[in-house]
Amino acid sequence: MRQILFFALKDDLALILDAVEKNGALQYVPMGQFTDGTPEVLARGRDIESLGVATANSSTASESFLVAEPKMPIRPRVISPAPV
């Protein structure tokens, strides 16, 4: 997957996301592994608490979101814990 890494603060990103969301609603789904069920889906990008903040020391380990139209069903994959 191709990436474009950039630096922006929360206020900068919120303005861009607001402009994009004026063209139609979106859903923001946290990506990763979750032990407590399905993560909360957000309807506005500016509601992402960590928006504009690196949540880890590398981009690959930082919090990331899948952005899709609200009508797009998101089906999380359940991964069973490894046997001990």
Per-residue model confidence (pLDDT) at position 35: 75
Question: Does residue 19 fall inside a structural domain?
Answer: no
One-letter amino acid for residue 18 of the chain: D
Per-residue model confidence (pLDDT) at position 69: 96
Task: Read off the tokens for 29.
Answer: 């789904």
Based on the structure, what is the number of domains in the chain? 1
Question: Does residue 48 fall inside a structural domain?
Answer: yes
Q: Where in the sequence is the domain holding 43, given as residue range(s)?
A: 25-73
Residues of the chain falling short of pLDDT 50: none
Per DSSP (E only), the strands in the chain are: 27-31, 64-68
Per-residue model confidence (pLDDT) at position 66: 93
Say if pTM beats, i.e. exceeds, 0.85: no
Question: Does residue 12 fall inside a structural domain?
Answer: no
Question: Does residue 54 fall inside a structural domain?
Answer: yes
Per-residue model confidence (pLDDT) at position 1: 67
As a whole number of angstroms, the distance between CA 65 and CA 49 comes to: 12
Question: Does residue 33 fall inside a structural domain?
Answer: yes
Question: Does residue 63 fall inside a structural domain?
Answer: yes
